[in-house]
Structures are given as structure tokens and as C-alpha cells.
Structure 1
Amino acid sequence: MLPVFKLSNGPVPLLAFHGIGQDHRAFEPLAQQLEGRYAMYAFDLFFHGSQSAPASDDVLTKQRFQEIIQAFLHQHSIERFAVIGFSMGGRFALATAEAFPQQTTELILLAPDGITISPWYRIATQSGLGRRLFRYFLQHMPLFHRFGQVFLSVGLINRSVLRFAESTLATVEQRKSVYNSWVYFRKLHFNLSELSELLNNHPVRVRFFAGYFDQVLPVSYIKPLSRRLHAYELTVLKTGHNRLIEKVAKIF
């Protein structure tokens, strides 16, 4: 089981999954606005908040994650629910909707990861060599910074992404959390044709929120899924990546 915190009360259960480097508290501003409408259950994902390492060293599979959510739903006697995910939490929101399409009433994605996969993520996680290099760079941050400056100068990354990476990797504990998360969650990926068919064939309300100034997970990253959907809602707010939950809370 994952630690879960009930942040608001209401008739519609809402399962919430935070971004990398966060915990359940990231959703507190939104939960305040949802009081009386949604019962928000915010999870602490592995390697974040009150949840440390998983019980085993295995990669998190979709089947194992489905079992975790099924146990939670059973424990709380929840039959139908909405789900929300921000950034990395978008992977978990997508995996939940994919595993429980008949029970999901609403899928709310805030600058979601898991739709467009960064080539850097593929390089860092999908092979043993890539994972060793990823670990090495995280253990030698001056070298990481120098390579970042080179990639910035030749246009392979932009300044906002580099700043986000360096702030996310500022401490030893943050670097451990990022490495473990990227590696442990790497099997949570999706066949977008199959996923969109599931969403199209069930009455799931799909809502996207994106930041106009977000260069980490820009609005264009949503298109590989949104263009396959028969219906969806898209709201673009004048903000970057880190303040998106706060901005969404003001209009939700």
C-alpha cells in the first residue's frame, strides 16, 4: 500500500498523484477549493514524503500498481472515482484510468508526464548502461552542470529545463529520490492508441491543464493523446511548471 491522506470531503472520491520531488501536500491548495465537491485522497508515491523504498527492488509494473489501487478502493469501499495527476503523477493517473476505465468518471491531467517521453528519460532509464551513466552524473554534479551548459549552448535543452533539473537535484536526498523514481517507475508507459480507445469507449471526462510558459512539460506534449480522443477539455494558464497546481486551484 501507499500512504494516502484525505485532504477534502465531498461526494466524489478523487485520487491524486503528485509530481517528482513533492508529496501529498502539493495538492493542499487545490483540496481547499474542492471541499464539499470532491473527497481528495492524495498519495505519497514511492521515494517521496512518508513513503520510502518499496518492499522489493523490482521495477513497478502496471499489474502491481493496479493491485495497490484495487486494495485502496476495497479498503475505502470506493466504486467510482475521479483521478488527478501532476507532472510525474500524470503517469499514475493515466495508469489508474487505464486499469479501471469502468470506474473512472474523470481524468484530470496537469502538465502530465507519460504521454510524450523525453529522449533524456529514455537514455537514462531504458538500458543498464544508461542507468549507470545516469547514476554517475548524479554523483558528480559539477560534471552534470558542465554538460548541461554545453547542451544549453547548442540548443539541446532550454534554460527553463536546466533550471528545473538543477533545482530538483539540489541535494543528495533529492538526487537519490529522482534516480530511484525514474528507474523504478520506468515500466509505467502507455500504448496511446489502446489507452485512447479505452477512454473513448467509456464515459470518462478528460481534462487537461497546462502552463503557457511551461518548458518542462509543455502543452504540445499532450497532443499525442489528445488528438486521439473524441472529446476532451484543455485549459492553458499563464504560468510555468512549478506553480500549475496553485493556478488551477484558483479556477477549478
Structure 2
Amino acid sequence: MGFLDIPGLGKAHYHEYGSGSKPLLAFHGYGMTGRQFHVLENSILQEYHVYGFDHFFHGESKLSGWTEQQIIEGMPKTMIKAHLEEWFKLHGKQRFSVMGYSIGANIALLLVEEYADLIDEVILMAPDGLSVYKGFHFLTYQPVGRYMFKTVTKSKWLAPALLKNLKKVRFIDDGLYQIAYNEIDTEQKRQDVYYTLNLIRLLKPDTNKVAELINQHHIKCRLIFGKHDNLFPMKAALPFINSVPNAEVHEVNMGHWLVTKQLDEYLVNLQQ
């Protein structure tokens, strides 16, 4: 593991694991850390040496000198490029691959925008960023949504009540409800949700540009979706999928919670 000291941002912490030799920069989902992908030990980790980054407000990554107002305004996209430039200083400029799950897919896609000529493969699981998720957009862009988001995260009872109603109308399933509830059951966790989603709200890739670059540079592309995923289903990503004709696309019999031993077994069976 190690840290990247990123000027104007802070310390980005990363974990290292995997028995493969090829570098893979990986970005986890909400509420996890850069160790999230360690369960893919018989598939992805056989091929790659993973550098799994902790998002800010997760794990050991720490913002430095940022005010609440700066956090709410969001991290500029240029800060993602700064991550990789600092990584190059430590490990040398070289070819690499990227992997992202859920909100982490946004960062992987932004790296494709900047470094397509150096990227061998893109692996995305239940990816945010391939289409606009109206719920996050409402909470982080629309004035009414931003006000509601702030109010809910500062209340002890509003957030749990909202989740229960979302489950009741089947906007989220039981699995997502449990995951989300575990992330809002304390004041600190609710604040971290609020800060995280606002910090990353500007980190939205240009999917047309990404598709063009993947095709132009013949980047291997693996896209994995959960058949029962209500957050980022495959149907929402079809415009992107159709624009990358050589993409390897999988829809597995799972929900949003994809990075598990079950997925590892699925990926191993594909190779047999």
C-alpha cells in the first residue's frame, strides 16, 4: 500500500494486491475501500497487480485544507489526472489498465479520456457514468434536491424513513436497502454520504469521447451488469454499449452488489 501526495487535494491512499504482473488501477464503490476487489482472486487477480484507491471519505484517503463549501462545489476533473501523474512519479510512466465498480467507474472512465493511448483494458462492474442516474443528479445538481439532500443527511430520522419508502415502492431492493441503511445509521456516516456525493459530482465522463477512444485505440473493454440491479442496469447503458461494438458485455444473475465470490466464479468459468 502507499499514498499519493496530490497538490491542492490531499493524500490518496491505495492498496496493492494480486498475483499478476500487469498494473491495474481500481476504484471501488460507495462505502468500501480499495481492497474491495480482493475477492476476485481466481480471475482478475491472477492476471493483474491491483492498485486499489480509497475514495476520499473512505479508508485512509484524506483531503487537506478543503472547506465544506469547496467539498460541496465538487472536485475538478483535473484532479483525477493529477492522481495518475503522481502515480507515474512513483511507479514510472507505463501502460496500465483500469477497473471501476459503481461510482468508481466514473474515475476509470475519466482516465480513459486522458490516457487512452496507454490503457490496455477497461473493466467496469455495475458502472455509474455510462448514463445519467437521475437520483444522484437530482440530489447533487437540482436546487431542491441539494436542499433535500442536506436536510436529510443532518436528520436522525429522515434518512431511514426515506430509505424505507424507497424500498416500499421498489425503487431499491432489500440488498440495496441494507447496504444504504448501514451507511446512514450514524451522524458521521450521513455526513460522509453527503460529502462524498458532492465531492464527486463533477466527475462525469464524456461517454461519446470514451467510446471513440476505446474504438480508436483498440482498448479491451469488459462490461458487467447485474440483471437485478435497479441502480445502474444494463438497459440504461445500451447507447454506450452499442457504440463500442467489440465490448465484452455480461449480464449476470445478481443485483447491484456484484464484487463477490460469485462474480469471481463466473469470470473463472468464462475462461474454461
Q: Please, what TM-score do these two structures have when normalized by structure 2? A: 0.83
Change (3 A) 1:150 1:248: closer
Deviation at 1:24, TM superposition (A): 1.5
Partner residue of 1:96? 111
Q: Is 1:157 the equivalent of 2:171?
A: yes
Deviation at 1:86, TM superposition (A): 0.7
State the distance in 1 between where 2:201 and 2:240 align: 19
Partner residue of 1:64? 79
Deviation at 1:61, TM superposition (A): 1.5
What RMSD in Å do the two structures reach over aligned CA positions? 2.3
Partner residue of 1:168? 183
Q: Which runs of 5+ in 2 are unaligned?
A: 5-11
Q: Is 1:133 the equivalent of 2:133?
A: no
Partner residue of 1:48? 58
Contact 2:160 2:184 in 1 (8 A): no
Partner residue of 1:184? 199
Partner residue of 1:207? 222
Partner residue of 1:73? 88
Deviation at 1:242, TM superposition (A): 1.9
Q: Is 1:119 the equivalent of 2:137?
A: no
Give the secondary structure class of the aligned counterpart of 1:46. coil
Deviation at 1:150, TM superposition (A): 4.7
Q: How many residues align?
A: 251
Deviation at 1:35, TM superposition (A): 4.4
Give the secondary structure class of the aligned counterpart of 1:225. helix
Deviation at 1:73, TM superposition (A): 2.2
Give the secondary structure class of the aligned counterpart of 1:6. strand
Percentage of identical aligned residues: 25
Deviation at 1:151, TM superposition (A): 5.2
Which residue identity is paired with 2:77? K
Once the two structures are superposed, what CA deviation does each residue of 1:71-110 show, in whole Å capped at 9, x if it has no partner?
1023111410111101111111111111110011100000
Change (3 A) 1:5 1:186: same
Change (3 A) 1:208 1:124: same
More displaced 10-residue stretch of structure 1: 72-81 or 164-173: 164-173
State the distance in 2 between where 1:192 and 1:47 align: 26
More displaced 10-residue stretch of structure 1: 134-143 or 96-105: 134-143
- Equivalent of 1:228 in 243, 252, 264: 243
Partner residue of 2:8? none
Q: Is 1:217 the equivalent of 2:232?
A: yes
Deviation at 1:115, TM superposition (A): 1.6
Q: Which runs of 5+ in 1 are unaligned?
A: none
Deviation at 1:127, TM superposition (A): 4.3
More displaced 10-residue stretch of structure 1: 124-133 or 103-112: 124-133
Give the secondary structure class of the aligned counterpart of 1:226. helix
Partner residue of 2:158? 143
Change (3 A) 1:39 1:116: same
Q: Is 1:5 the equivalent of 2:15?
A: yes
Partner residue of 1:242? 257
State the distance in 1 between where 2:137 and 2:210 align: 20
Contact 2:19 2:45 in 1 (8 A): yes
**Structure 1 segments of 4+ aligned residues over 6 angstroms from their partners:** none
